[in-house]
Structure 1
Amino acid sequence: MNYSLFKSINDLAGHHPFLDGLMAGVTNNALIIYAIVLLLIWFIGKDQYKKTVVYAAITGALGLLMNYIIGHIYVEPRPFVSHKVNLLVEHAADASFPSDHTTGAFALALAVLFVHRKIGIGMLLFAFLTGFSRIYVGHHYPFDILGSIIVSLVISTVVFKLSPFLEPIANTIINMYNRIPLVPKTTEKVNSKSL
């Protein structure tokens, strides 16, 4: 079933130039796009938004750490190692399960979604596109993507629940930033209960 789902999506690759370009672009640049979005939130947003960026960074890092551990416990070969696939983007033949790109995308999106719905929904939709693109270009099976979503959901929920304990870290980072000369400053007093 996992391979059948993979094949039905990956078989689309190589036949639609626009779709191929879009999926390759998403797969190559998704995490860069997320980084740009988080930087914009940081520079434009007030302190409450900056806290969300800190929590998102923690969530993303923990998600990737969890993937690293899982990848050493359960080694699933990439689809292009085990099968003939339409490989649109070259990739190292490392562990396939779970997908780091998808975990990173969902971890960041969910961390923002829990606090700022409108921005988070847009990021979450892009995370689904990122996951789909990883299958489309031949890098991952659908179950790799599902595993990544589960890892991201668990980690982002834990970080959200622990945010009151992580708040001193976020406040320290924000205060250090606000002491840097010639950067946009915020004078907002953050109410931690609103997070």
Structure 2
Amino acid sequence: MNYELFKSIHNLSGHSNTLDNFMVFITDKAIYIFALALLALWIFGGKCMKRAVLYAGGTGVIALVVNVLIAQIYYEPRPFVTHHIQTLIPHAEDASFPSDHSTGAFTIAIAMWFRYKKIGIPMFILALLTGFSRIWAGLHYPFDVLGSLMVAIVISYVIVKLSRLFDPLVNWIISIYDSILGKRSISNKSSRTKNF
């Protein structure tokens, strides 16, 4: 069933250069889009947004660590290793389950959704597209992406429930950033005053 679902999606590739290029862009660059989005939200957001960004990024890292542990326990070869298929981009023959790209995308989106739904929803749509593009490109099975979604949901939920434990660290990081930024703004003001 997993392979049949994979074929039904991957066989859509190779018919349109535009679609293939778009899927390759998403599968390669989506994680950078998430990173830039978090950076922008951190820079231009208030304290609550900065907390959401730290939780989203931190939860994503924890989920990827869980992925590594899962891959050590259960090894699933990638589709192009087991079957004779043509991938859209080259990739190492490492574990297929779960998908790291999809896990990172889903986790950031879900963690953000818990705190800011209006931001989390478009992020989740991009995460779905990321997972779909991994199948389209021939790098993952559908169940790899589904496994990533499950990991993201569980880890995000656990971190939300344990947020009281992480709040002191999160608040400390934000206070450090604010103090550094405050010193810079004071020094900038003093230099402007001297110029006058």
State TM-score, norm by structure 1: 0.92
Q: Distance in 1 between matches of 2:169 and 2:111?
A: 16
Equivalent pairs, count:
184
Runs of 4 or more, structure 1, over 2 Å off, are 181-184
Q: CA deviation at 1:86?
A: 2.8
Which amino acid in 2 is paired with 1:169? L
Match of 2:148 in 1: 148
Spell out the pairing of 1:102-121 with structure 2 (5 A cutoff). 102-121=102-121
Match of 2:72 in 1: 72
- Structure (1/2) with the larger helix percentage: 2
| Cα 1:74–1:183 shift into 2, 3 Å | farther
Q: Distance in 2 between matches of 1:34 and 1:110?
A: 12
Q: CA deviation at 1:16?
A: 1.0
Match of 2:62 in 1: 62
Q: Distance in 1 between matches of 2:14 and 2:52?
A: 39
Q: Distance in 2 between matches of 1:18 and 1:161?
A: 43
Match of 2:191 in 1: none
Match of 1:30 in 2: 30
Spell out the pairing of 1:113-192 with structure 2 (5 A cutoff). 113-181=113-181
Root-mean-square deviation (CA), in Å? Answer: 1.1
Q: Distance in 2 between matches of 1:24 and 1:51?
A: 32
Q: Distance in 2 between matches of 1:183 and 1:135?
A: 47
State TM-score, norm by structure 2: 0.91
Q: Provide structure 1 residue ranges, at least 5 long, that are not aligned to the other structure.
A: 185-195
Which amino acid in 1 is paired with 2:178? N
Which amino acid in 1 is paired with 2:41? I
Q: Distance in 2 between matches of 1:166 and 1:183?
A: 28
